[in-house]
Chains A and B, each alone.
Chain A
Amino acid sequence: MSSAPGSYYLPNPSPWPLIAAVSVFTLVTGVALWINNVGAGFTIAMVGLAAVLFMMFGWWRAVINESVGGNYNSEVDLSFRMTMGWFIFSEVMFFCAFFGALFYARNLAVPWLEEEMLLWGSYTGGWPTAGPAGAAHIGADVHDVGRGQFGTIGAFGIPILNTILLMTSSITVTLAHHALRHGDRGKLVLWLAITVALGAAFMYYQVEEYIEAYSHLGLTLGTGIYGATFFMLTGFHGMHVTIGAIILFIIMLRCMRGHFKAEDHFAFEAAAWYWHFVDVVWVGLFIFVYIM
């Protein structure tokens, strides 16, 4: 619709929402078939994934064009800010489900299993544990795990390094923001590049840690409740770091093209908020998964 200049921008009819729905449907249907070993599940999933990426590219391109074209007034900007804030809140609640599972298992389910002598009389509980029928925990960062045993990742090896990397990246993204507000594009791009590099380094070490866990510590997704909570929490977090780094990378490219003004740069701030959120979740992980 041709909104009057200065009024709240209302977009014209758009094909992207419908494409989004059909692509997501194709993707998840493909995955459901694939994990059940049905027919062309994998192919369907990949087609769906390609369609999702195509949709994201096309939809965001349209939005960026509108933004650069000056269609968004301050009210639209505020709508976007609120939207991003509430979206991050929904993400926080998603992580809460897994943190909740961790706390429940550790503080209630495992102690109850230990007290309840009916099925597994000799189970001694404790944490980390893979449960009464799972492998036995023999310590952190031990390298001679035998059959039926598992080791865990100690907090003060890779995890503390990763904590430092992510904390630093939260600072560098803030420095980039300052540079943006002072109109210093060179510094802005530099600090953003450093932020993305720190994110990539984090992911490198995270993968390193997973390889260590799988190949040397006998710690896998199937290692009872400890393996489940460990890999699901760190896995979803790692996924968010990857997405956040990709977003920041795209924002960096947009900065290089001069898309943002010193006083008007919502997309940058949204990416930065997302990055801080990822950082805060990591602090929770570091404390509750690695240290305690």
Chain B
Amino acid sequence: MATDHTHGHDGHDDHHDHGPPPFFTRWFMSTNHKDIGTLYLLFSLAMLFVGGSMAMVIRAELFQPGLQFVDPHFFNQMTTMHALVMIFGAVMPGFVGFANWMLPLMVGAPDMALPRLNNMSFWVLFMAFVLLLSTLLVGAPAGGWTMYAPLSIQGGLGIDMMIFAVHMMGISSILGAINVIVTCLNMRAPGMTLMKMPMFVWTWLITSFLLIAVMPVLAGAVTMLLTDRNFGTAFFDPAGGGDPVMFQHIFWFFGHPEVYIMILPAFGIISHIIPTFARKPLFGYDSMVFATAGIAFLSFVVWAHHMFTVGMPLSGELFFMYSTMLIAIPTGVKIFNWVATMWRGSMTFETPMLFAVSVVVLFTIGGLSGLMLAIVPADFQYHDTYFVVAHFHYVLFSGAVMAMMGGAYFWLPKWTGHMYNERLGKVHFWLTAIFFNVTFFPQHFLGLAGMPRRIPDYSTQFTEFNQWSSLGAFGLGISQLLFVYIVFACIRGGKQATAEVWENPEGLEWTVPSPAPHHTFETPPRIS
């Protein structure tokens, strides 16, 4: 899509001079999508390290069999908190940061539709994490991030604090998602029809729908936990006619769409990176949109594949097995589209492209292990083993997190006005990709051999793979310090970036200068 520059941004930006306001006003009372986006991204990066250090504790303990460093209860606190921090603190806010920065730039809007609500989403999230992390002082939740009853009915103050923290994260996500939807639907520049929206915008539009549909259900689930714990209700207590399995159903009705909430924006990001570095337009844009919508629709009818071993009727097992396998079709459409985009492209492999290509490969591995888990009789064997741990780290780390890293390298020049250090970026990529696989590939074998997850000790025959996994994890953790260095070095200086940054990239964001001025598209561009 080309912009008509006579109506575009360039002619209008110099009329009024409004740069960023003073420090406190700018960062604490912001109504600017770029500043709020920066806050989200920095928060996400910080949480990546908080959650990552918890993973280091887990991997240190699992370096050898027997109990070494921590007691089992603390180990359980670490697995629980690691998941909560990574999911709600690192991955989701990371994507919201990208959305804040990029959506208005991509659709040619002056800002998000509701700027104050946008800032509230961030600060409510921030305070939710103050609450969640302070449970470490009073006895953190240790029953797994899934908070299954009846374990979560026991335990003390920490669980109630976690429940309220989840409520606050829900408020934050719902308000943020509403903001995204309204921005996508109401703030597009004239001429940008829905089927001309960039893929990242499409994926976020659909993600927002999922968020608004399922975050309230999670709020309902934890509210029932709260009343079961404190006010004598019997939702999850069979003695009163309730059922702990019911918690799992309600939780996973949220939980499965949640995994697409964490991966669809990643699909969006790499749908921008791959065409740029293959120097070809995205193959099959329409099918990409419909595949995304298809995945979102199916995500509502597959939840019980997380509960095959809980004792469901056979008809339920079969339904959820087949519906889960169906998801492979729209996902496969996407994978083929990315591959077809690269096919006979004049490809170069700058850091963002390295990340994007590795996401396609590694996410596919995670997708295929997911297909294995979808098979009911196989799942009876794999359930709650390290095979599951390996599976969701392939989709969540090498899918979501590595897509975000690729996206960060891709748009950092636009954000900061400087090129990042390409050589270090490539080093960071290779360290990340190699250590990631060293960490998680052996966990497939551990799981298939029957090593259970969330247990601090293991049988001695699992030792070697666990040592590989731990060494990989330490390497993976340390490598991310390099990422922080590259990002902050890029903020402070570096080669001046051009407006286009890359070679003929597609999209409105490349029509504004680098760094993007504090206010952009105050007069909407025209899309022809």
Which residues of A approach B to under 8 Å, CB–CB? 1-4, 7-8, 10-18, 20-22, 24-25, 28-29, 31-33, 35-36, 38, 59, 75, 78-79, 82-83, 86-87, 89-91, 93-98, 100-101, 104-105, 108-110, 112-113, 119, 129-134, 220-229, 231-232
Contact = CB atoms under 8 A, between A and B. Distances in A.
B296 interface: no
A132 B237 CA distance: 10
Interface string B504-528: 0000000000000001001100000
Given A24-B124, A93-B216, A132 B164 contact: no
Contact of A225 (B124, B167, B235): B235
B185 A232 contact: no
A11 B212 contact: no
Nearest to B224: A101
Given A7-B523, A79-B182, A105-B243, 13 more contacts: A2-B18, A7-B110, A11-B115, A14-B119, A18-B119, A28-B167, A28-B168, A98-B220, A101-B235, A104-B246, A129-B241, A132-B241, A226-B241
Nearest to B171: A24
B4 to A, nearest CB: 19
Given A29-B164, A131-B242, A227 B220 contact: no
Nearest to A108: B243
11 contacts: A13-B29, A13-B31, A20-B124, A25-B127, A32-B161, A86-B177, A97-B217, A104-B249, A131-B237, A222-B240, A228-B235
Interface stretch (B226-234, B354-362, B384-392, B405-413): B226-234
A97 B216 contact: yes
A79 B113 CA distance: 7
B238 A29 contact: no
A94 B220 contact: yes
Contact of B31 (A10, A75, A221, A232): A10
Interface centre among A29, A75, A225 (most CB of B within 10 A): A225
Nearest to A75: B186
Closest 8 CB pairs of A and B: A97-B220, A131-B241, A21-B123, A222-B232, A17-B120, A225-B241, A228-B233, A224-B240
B240 A225 contact: yes
A36 B237 contact: no
Nearest to B174: A90
Interface centre among B110, B182, B238 (most CB of A within 10 A): B238
Contacts of B115: 10-11
A134 B30 CA distance: 53
Interface stretch (B20-28, B42-50, B192-200, B333-341): B20-28
